[in-house]
Amino acid sequence: MMGKLFKYEFKNTASKYWYMYAIILALTLFTKILDIIQMNLNSRFLNPPLYISMALLFIGLCFLVLLTRVFSIIRFYRDMVGNQAYLTYTLPVEVWQHIIVRLTVSVFWIIISGIVCIISVFILGAGHDLLREILNGLSSMISSIKTTQQVLFIIQLILSIIFNTASSLMMFYMAIAIGQLFNRNKAIAAAGAYVGCNMIMEVFTTLLFLLTSNRIPWILDYKDGFSTDFFNSGAEFVNSVLLLTGLVNIFFLVTFFLITERLLSRRLNIE
Amino acid sequence: MQNNDSFLNTSAASADIPLLECRNLCKSYGALPVLYNWNITIAKGRIVGLLGPNGSGKTTLIKLINGLLTPTSGEVLICGNPPGVESKKVISYLSDKDALDSGMRVEDTINLYSDFFEDFSEERMYGMLKRLSIDPMTKIGTLSKGNREKVRLILTMSREAKLYVLDEPIGGVDPAARDYILDTIIKNYSPESSILLSTHLISDVERILDDVIFVSNGQIMFADAADNIRAQGKSVDQLFRETYRF
Amino acid sequence: MTWNIDYDRPIWIQLVEQLQVALISGELNPGDAVPSVRDLAADAQVNINTMQRALAELESRGLLVPKDNRWRASGRAVTEDRSLIDEIKLNYARSILEDFTQKMRSLGLDDGEIVSKVAEYLSKTRSKGE
């Protein structure tokens, strides 16, 4: 059953999102072409259209990332609490399956949108000095970590991003689940619930960091021990933050999921 | 008028689990009770009308059966199971609110139903579509209101479910569509399943009902077989009007 | 068949009556196979259980008999027993007569006038080749 849900959710979202990706692709290629022409001609003649194109692309990328997020939330609301709820809840599928499928597919698209941004930037930056410098900096940071654990670091980074996205999205879902308890103005109630939950989470996270800042475990070994080198201490800092936020995110993700599931299965209140 | 009427179908073999059973079912929104102490039993092979004015609790009961609401107290059981995945496999629900995706084609919706419901019969569905001369490739949003209601109905009736729950199936459609809908309901009758039909348009519907349940203000007023009512010289519609005289 | 259903009398009773009329009028002949419950119910636009009850009643009166069908396990057919059908016909005629006489008498006509009116009407309609 869940496999079928995945299939339908992917199909429906892909059919809505592909327009945006097509536009981004077109803009990127167009900008790059202008860029290449300008590099070869070495004149300032093409600067205005190039810059406009870049600006458009930038706006487009922002829209892509933003809209993906917004759509995920709106879809969840519509499917679980709004107009499509009747259909959703008559399918012989458990509530937790609905939530997991939607969460996974949404996280997938959000991450894809992020990757597309990075790819776009790389395409544009190819052949320019700025890109080379950024890449150098990144590889320095990574090589400051003991070689055998570099992969671990990268994995940790990726997982952090995934869980961070998932838990923040899950908080929206939970707010929607809380909002539907109200008989009127479910959407406004959801928004209010979101603000409330956000505040609670911020307080919680701040307290947590204050309490543990002195006792963060190091899980990676550094070549030269704790050094004063910028890249080393940078890596250590990033590592510890990632670890802690990762754990906190997982905790929140699970908690929000359980609350949402409980609300939508036991205390469902569809108009 | 009694408000705790138990309604037993005499055709039921006592060993069979009833298709639908409500025991002391209550639902309140905060302090406002919408359903009070409902006891209903529906055996298989019956077409039951849930009749009452708007706001009497009919739609609330239907939502409780389908798991869209949870009871405040009491229970609702479908083939012995509370609302959940198991009950949803055997209930085919036609909501009064149109929940179809306007952007999808009829065919896509059929594939969806076919995928998720094992008891969905594509053969029956396409057969009925053909007789209605509706092209499966049409987008749902472009169908006329009457056709849209018909498509929703035949999607519901193309399943070989145990309990069909139809919420106001003939509201808002022209008389020809109404006849079609009622005939489709009769034709898809099976002695192994039952149909719960909720409406406030009694006279159009009474000819197909085995049994009727009158509800008002969240309470069951009365329940009996339709022909028993007629044996007393009144049509169901007449009795209904007298009961709810304003 | 054309069906005429009122909703203020039990429907199954009306179905029994109208099926009997079909039997005695010759629309259904002795020995004919009767359409399935489903088809009859759809034709009359009534609930299948209601039609089932009507057919069961006719079966208990001996007017319909079970018949093995090539396709259906349980079908029904009109009885071959013409005497039964004739009896129904007579009963029906009697009730029409009762009804007629009652109505004519309530108009104030005496028995002699009733008889002569009937004879008059019969000869008139016969000459018109009815």
Average pLDDT value for residue range A168-191: 89
Beta-carbon-side half-sphere exposure of residue B116 (alpha carbons within 13 Å): 27
Instruction: Using a CB–CB cutoff of 8 Å, tell me whether C47 touches chain B.
Output: yes
**C72 and C105 together in one domain:** no
Looking at residue B64, its pLDDT comes to: 93
Please give the radius of gyration of chain C, using alpha carbons only, rounded to the nearest integer.
18
Residue B198 has pLDDT above 90, yes or no: yes
C6 is a domain residue: no
How is residue B106 written in tokens?
Answer: 């009829």
**C71 and C110 together in one domain:** no
pLDDT tens digits, B49-89? 999 888 888 999 999 999 988 899 999 999 999 999 999 99
**C50 and C95 together in one domain:** no
Cβ-contact B22, B45 below 8 angstroms: no
**C22 and C63 together in one domain:** yes
Instruction: Using a CB–CB cutoff of 8 Å, tell me whether C6 touches chain B.
Output: yes
pLDDT tens digits, A122-145? 888 877 777 788 888 877 777 766
When mean pLDDT is compared across A216-225, B207-216, C85-94, the lowest value belongs to A216-225
Q: Give the SS3 label for residue C50.
A: helix
**C102 and C60 together in one domain:** no
Burial class (CB in 10 A: 0-12, 13-18, 19+), C126: exposed
Looking at residue A224, its pLDDT comes to: 45
CA angle A254, A255, A261 (to 5 degrees): 85
When mean pLDDT is compared across B88-102, B212-226, B232-246, the lowest value belongs to B232-246
pLDDT: is B93 or A83 the higher one?
B93
Which residue carries 């981004």 as its tokens? A24
Beta-carbon-side half-sphere exposure of residue A31 (alpha carbons within 13 Å): 22
Using CA coordinates, name the residue in chain C closest to B11: C49
Residue B92 has pLDDT above 90, yes or no: yes
Q: Do B68 and A86 touch (CB under 8 A)?
A: yes
Residue A192 has pLDDT above 70, yes or no: yes
**C28 and C65 together in one domain:** yes
Looking at residue A145, its pLDDT comes to: 66
C4 is a domain residue: no
pLDDT tens, per residue, chain C with 130 residues: 889 998 889 999 999 999 988 888 888 888 888 888 888 998 898 999 999 999 999 989 888 888 765 655 567 888 888 888 888 888 888 989 999 999 989 988 888 888 998 899 999 888 665 5
Residue B194 has pLDDT above 50, yes or no: yes
pLDDT tens digits, A16-62? 899 889 989 888 888 888 888 877 777 666 677 788 888 888 898 99
Structural domain count, chain C: 2
Burial class (CB in 10 A: 0-12, 13-18, 19+), A73: middle
Question: Where does the pLDDT of residue A146 fall: very low under 50, low under 70, confident under 90, or very high at 90 and above?
Answer: low
**Which residue of B72, B108, B115 is the best one to mutate when testing the A interface, meaning the one whose CB has the most A CBs within 10 A?**
B115
Domains of chain B: which residue ranges? 20-243
Q: Do C11 and B230 touch (CB under 8 A)?
A: yes
Chains with 3+ CB–CB pairs under 8 A to B are A, C
Q: Mind telling me how many Å the CA of C99 is from chain B's nearest CA?
A: 20
Q: What's the rounded Cα separation, in Å, for the pair B167 and B215? A: 14
Residue A148 has pLDDT above 90, yes or no: no
What are all long-range contacts of B137-144, with beta carbons under 8 Å and residues at least 24 apart? B137/B105, B137/B106, B137/B107, B138/B105, B138/B106, B139/B102, B139/B103, B139/B104, B139/B105, B140/B100, B140/B101, B140/B102, B140/B103, B140/B104, B140/B105, B140/B106, B140/B109, B141/B102, B141/B103, B143/B106
**C19 and C52 together in one domain:** yes
Residue B236 CB contacts under 8 Å (≥ 6 apart), including other chains:
B49, B51, B202, B206, B209, B212, B226, B229, B230, C7
The residue range of the domain holding C103 is 84-127
Looking at residue B100, its pLDDT comes to: 85
What count of other Cβ atoms lies within 10 Å of the Cβ of residue A128? 11
**C88 and C73 together in one domain:** no
**C103 and C71 together in one domain:** no
Residue B194 CB contacts under 8 Å (≥ 6 apart), including other chains:
B19, B20, B42, B43, B44, B45, B46, B47, B48, B162, B163, B164
Of B30, B70, B93, the CB nearest to A266: B70
CA angle A65, A101, B83 (to 5 degrees): 140
Q: Do C45 and B236 touch (CB under 8 A)?
A: no
**C35 and C90 together in one domain:** no
Q: Mind telling me how many Å the CA of B26 is from chain C's nearest CA?
A: 31
Chain C partners of B226 at a C-beta cutoff of 8 Å? 11, 47
Residue A218 has pLDDT above 80, yes or no: no
What count of other Cβ atoms lies within 10 Å of the Cβ of residue A250? 16
Q: What's the rounded Cα separation, in Å, for the pair C77 and A84? A: 51
**C76 and C19 together in one domain:** yes
Whether C contacts A, i.e. 3 or more CB pairs less than 8 A apart, is no
Q: Do B227 and C10 touch (CB under 8 A)?
A: yes
Q: Give the SS3 label for residue B24.
A: strand
Question: Where does the pLDDT of residue A234 fall: very low under 50, low under 70, confident under 90, or very high at 90 and above?
Answer: low
Q: What's the rounded Cα separation, in Å, for the pair B174 and B201? A: 13
Average pLDDT value for residue range B209-227: 91
Chain B partners of A186 at a C-beta cutoff of 8 Å? none
Average pLDDT value for residue range A54-77: 91
Residue B172 has pLDDT above 90, yes or no: no
Residue B118 has pLDDT above 60, yes or no: yes
Instruction: Using a CB–CB cutoff of 8 Å, tell me whether C5 touches chain B.
Output: yes
Which residue carries 């049994």 as its tokens? B211
pLDDT tens digits, B19-49? 999 999 999 988 888 999 999 999 999 999 9
Chains with 3+ CB–CB pairs under 8 A to C are B
Q: Do A268 and B89 touch (CB under 8 A)?
A: no
Four-residue CA torsion sign, B164, B168, B173, B179: positive
C42 is a domain residue: yes
Chain B partners of A266 at a C-beta cutoff of 8 Å? 70
pLDDT tens digits, B124-141? 999 999 988 899 999 998
Of C8, C41, C45, the CB nearest to B235: C8
Residues of chain A above pLDDT 70, percent: 85
State which fold the B20-243 domain adopts. Answer: Rossmann fold (3.40.50)
C74 is a domain residue: yes
Q: Do A4 and B116 touch (CB under 8 A)?
A: yes
Average pLDDT value for residue range A188-196: 90
Chains with 3+ CB–CB pairs under 8 A to A are B
Residue A186 has pLDDT above 70, yes or no: yes
Q: Do C7 and B236 touch (CB under 8 A)?
A: yes
CATH of the domain at C34: 1.10.10.10
**C32 and C89 together in one domain:** no
**Which residue of B27, B88, B140, B159 is the best one to mutate when testing the A interface, meaning the one whose CB has the most A CBs within 10 A?**
B88
Instruction: Using a CB–CB cutoff of 8 Å, tell me whether B183 touches chain C.
Output: yes
Q: Give the SS3 label for residue A229.
A: coil
Phi, psi dihedral angles at C65 (to 5 degrees): -125, 150
